[in-house]
A and B are shown apart, each in its own frame.
Chain A
Amino acid sequence: MDMSSSAPAIETAGLTKRFGDLTAVDRIDLSIREGEVFALLGPNGAGKTTFISMLCTLVRPSAGTARVAGRDIVSEGLAVRRNIGIVFQEPSVDDLLTGRENLQLHSMLYGVPRREIPGRIDRMLATVGLGERADDRVRAYSGGMRRRLEIARGLIHEPRILFLDEPTLGLDPASRQAVWGYIRDLRRRAGTTIILTTHYMEEADSLSERVAIIDRGRIVELGTPDELKRKVGGDLVRLRCGVGPEAFSGLDYVKEAVREDGGLRLTVADAPRHLKALLDRCPEVEEVQVRRVTLEDVFLKFTGRQMRDEEGGADSIFQRIAVSHNRR
């Protein structure tokens, strides 16, 4: 509302959250531009959700400060909440209400003008593919449908800053593509600043302008997806072509060439561009494999560990749903 265009959408300084002995978020300094799509990439338990919960004023920091839309998250919580929307990782839609009722109540809570509410609800339900099930109780929805309803709800009041906590967890590939498309569209059309957490590499890679790799509560690396991949060194090229590693010495784009499994393993900067030059040095080509560097490799390099446990994440969401059924 009263944010100049030069001010960052989000700025944190030494933001920390401790739960007893556990430091879930450990002195994070971060600045996110207005209109940026920013991904927090890390395994479960890395502190992503706690970090954005603090930014959304749901959890009070143990130390440090943060400003969201220019407002302090502790002393100006209400002003922060006026500017944000959030799609939670765990379902928070009311299962005794219908999809339409959930959106209706949300719009009223967020002060969407009465006259606009029905039109927006229909548009959002169509966007997430729930138009036909709008008047069924959420109790009868599948896990994927609930997530799509959550997403519709987080977007319906058109927030300036949108938090998406694992937005596509538990979605089938088609729904995932639809959600990605909507996120891109939202950014382009409305200039919404989007902060998403994910442990899907391809999600961070294809959506975001910058990625922060977060592990054990700290940001271990920050940059554009390309910058991060470049830091790993390059793509992997496996060759079986009747020459030794010495054939590729002196090429500045070949970082490394070693023998492996009766063939060669080369680390190459921008392999697609140099592949032809590489093959020209081989008298005969039996086998070629090119694997482009992924954020997975980046993660492995900077944390020394594999991203893991996608299944665990998917399980927990369904367990939550099961519990919520038995609540009342």
Chain B
Amino acid sequence: MPIDFEAVYALLLREIKIYFREKERIIAIMVSPLLFLFVVGRGLSGHSPVPGYTYQQFIFPGILCMIVLFTSITYGLYIIWDKRLDFLKEVLVAPISRSTLFFGKALGGTVGATLEALILLIIGAAFILPVGALQFVGAAALGALFSFLLVNIGLGLGARMNSMEGFGLVMSFLTWPMFFFGGALFDLSGAGPWLRLASYLDPFTYCVDLMRWVLLGWGAFPAGLDLAAVLLCTAGTAAWGIVSFGGLQQTR
């Protein structure tokens, strides 16, 4: 299926415009990562496995990934609403392939989640973990890459679901487990074998680990392995998302 870049640009432009017009949402999404950072991070005063860093600093890369995770999956699942409320019809009857539609939506979500990550990165750099310019750029770039990976999952699921009840199920049985098993709050090497197995199967684990390499210079796996896992998952979820979009129909 050919990709029409003008149309991708149009879809992206729409998402960006809408993103900036819903300022309440930008703020609302920041709340739980900030709670984790400042309540769990400081209040629990857990042990940091990385020498020279506090626990709060240790979990910061994971929380940065968390905001990307939640923003991206939620964005993707919004397509269920769009299907029910006729907003999607307009793009479904447009003369663009489903892969064009998919990439337009996915990039739109990626931009939104990356902007959220940037805000948190700036807050973190100011109050928690000082970062160099190169680290800043690296973390932002990774945020965008992870976001694309995760938006693909949200869009693919959203395209296949017809009711908003599915939204809660995905959040409970996918998003939160991905976050907890991803090791954002703990060091994997100290975890039990079952927890570790679950973590190895969770793509979010490699996102968190790679982000730690960039911000802390430390990770549980080799950085190359993390990057390979993330890229592989990104390609896989994009392909799956496009297939899911192929079957997209108006629902009533």
Contact = CB atoms under 8 A, between A and B. Distances in A.
Contacts of B14: 94, 97, 105
Contacts of A56: 93
A109 B10 contact: yes
B250 A58 contact: yes
Indicate the size class of the contact surface on chain B: 20 to 34
Contact of A108 (B6, B86, B88): B6
Interface in B113-136: none
Interface in A89-123: 90-94, 96-97, 101, 105-106, 108-111
Contacts of A44: none
B93 A86 contact: yes
Contacts of B81: 327
A321 B249 CA distance: 21
B86 A91 contact: yes
B12 to A, nearest CB: 10
Nearest to A106: B90
Contacts of B252: 19
Nearest to B24: A328
B132 to A, nearest CB: 37
Contacts of A106: 90, 94
B161 interface: no
B89 interface: yes
Interface string A275-302: 0000000000000000000000000000
Contacts of A84: 93
A90 B85 CA distance: 9
Nearest to B96: A109
Nearest to B248: A58
B165 interface: no
A111 B96 CA distance: 9
Interface in A311-328: 320, 323-324, 327-328
B87 interface: yes
Interface in B1-26: 4, 6-7, 9-11, 13-14, 17-18, 21-22, 25
A3 interface: no
Most chain A C-beta atoms within 10 Å of own C-beta, residue among B88, B89, B93, B97: B93
B86 A109 contact: no
Contacts of A320: 85-86
Contact of A97 (B18, B94, B95): B18
B94 A81 contact: yes
Contacts of B17: 96-97, 101
B223 interface: no
A23 interface: no
A94 B10 contact: no
A86 B93 CA distance: 8
B89 A105 contact: no
B92 interface: yes
B31 interface: no
A195 B9 CA distance: 31
Contacts of A111: 4, 6-7, 95
A40 B89 CA distance: 21
Contacts of A327: 81, 85
Given A58-B89, A327-B85, A96 B95 contact: no
Nearest to A19: B252
A16 to B, nearest CB: 16
A57 interface: yes
A88 interface: yes
B89 A82 contact: no
Interface string A53-83: 1001111100000000000000000100110
Contacts of A94: 14, 18, 87
B91 interface: yes
B249 A60 contact: yes
A109 B91 contact: yes
Interface of A: 19, 53, 56-60, 78, 81-82, 84, 86, 88, 90-94, 96-97, 101, 105-106, 108-111, 137, 153, 320, 323-324, 327-328
4 shortest interchain CB distances as A-B pairs: A108-B10, A82-B95, A109-B94, A81-B95
Interface of B: 4, 6-7, 9-11, 13-14, 17-18, 21-22, 25, 81, 85-97, 249-250, 252
